[in-house]
Structure 1
Amino acid sequence: VRYVHMPAIELRLVWLLLLALGLPLLLAWFCYRGHAEYTVAPSRRRTWGAIVLASFAGATALGATWAAAASVAEVWREPRQLNVAFMLADVLLGRGLSPASAYMLVYSALLLLCIGVGVLYYEGILPIIAPRGTTLVLQTLGLALLGLVLVCSFLGSALAFSRGGPIDRWWETSGPGYLTPALLAGLISFALTTACARALAIAILPSMRRSEKLPVVVVETLAPA
């Protein structure tokens, strides 16, 4: 049996890229091939369950993308802290928290934030701007724009009120030219994963309402390029 010997950084990068790129692309491929959609409107429980599951998948892709960006910088021998989650954990570590508590708190907050973004978009914004629904491409764009607004609001306020603080030093040492592509890549990965995972989850999750019909139809959700 032959074993593939690969440095730890490269091996970690491969696994992170499988999550950051493979997960959203796989879900998009399933949606492109066509997914099962119920002929009647899904129940509220099914819709909320789909949003929670999709947000969990989106948070996974988001964290993996940021971690992959940091690993790419290490491979290029230009180590920079491009992982926002690690940066926030370092801030908590500086305040006396243990490593386990700091990382658990950061990733729990990230998951809750992703769920909040999904609920806000699909239950608050999308019914207003598109009452009859819209394509997955536009859903992905809307989620990415909403995430970008939230990230810019957080970073703008943090940099304005923490002159010389850990976030300000992180922004200067990592470099906006490196952080901006990493942040955008993470948001796109999150948006695509969440939109596709929600569409598939609504079709796959079991019925929560007795009056829902079982027959399904197959519809195309993404137009070929």
Structure 2
Amino acid sequence: MSLFAVITAGATLTQVAQAQTTVKGMETVGVKIGDTQTEMELALKNEGYYFWRKSAFKAEAGLPERIATAHYKKDGRNLEPDFLMVAFSPVSSKVVALSRSERFNVEVLAPDLVKNMSAKYGTPAAVRGTTEASWVEKRAGKDASVPLTQCEAAAGLQINYAANLDNYANCKRAVRLAMSPGSKPQIVWRMTLNLVDFETLYDETMQLKNALKDKVDIKR
């Protein structure tokens, strides 16, 4: 049964100004940011997800070929199936980002979904109407002038943050909930949930980049 199958009516969503927060949890459907591939696969198997496809980092800097991304689908769905995409860090091969899509087979209200997520992830940095909520945490001691919006997780299905990594040098971790409105007011028929550990992704990508530049091997 979906985590949200028993959500009941709640308060109206309001706009929340961007403010520094602490993201207190980084897990969904049993998969945690920082998991190994084996830990992730066990969690998804228990939740009814099935492997679809994957990609790999090439062998370099003393590291063997290793998993880069993995995509999973849920069985029994024909149209826009529930699925989850996972990205791994380039050195330690730990889960560093994920994007999960889920459709609801019961009426779920946007305020209740945000309330449920807030109990899990902490106080949102921003709630935008009935379509989006965002949890954001910046790195300590970094450029204070960088706006929190720069450290937000993607709003849509996205795990390839490494493509614009320089933008996230001041970011720690983030969660973003995107809600697809239904035919009735405040009803959500589908959600996309993104989690990302910018800190580990940035640090390991720079570690690999510097090892390649200096022509040295990384020891794991």
What range describes the TM-score normalised by the shorter chain of this pair? under 0.3
Structure with the bigger percentage of helix: 1
TM-score scaled by length of structure 2: 0.27
TM-score scaled by length of structure 1: 0.27
Structure with the bigger percentage of strand: 2
Q: Considering Cα pairs closer than 8 Å and 6+ residues apart, tell me whether 1 or 2 has the greater RCO.
A: 1
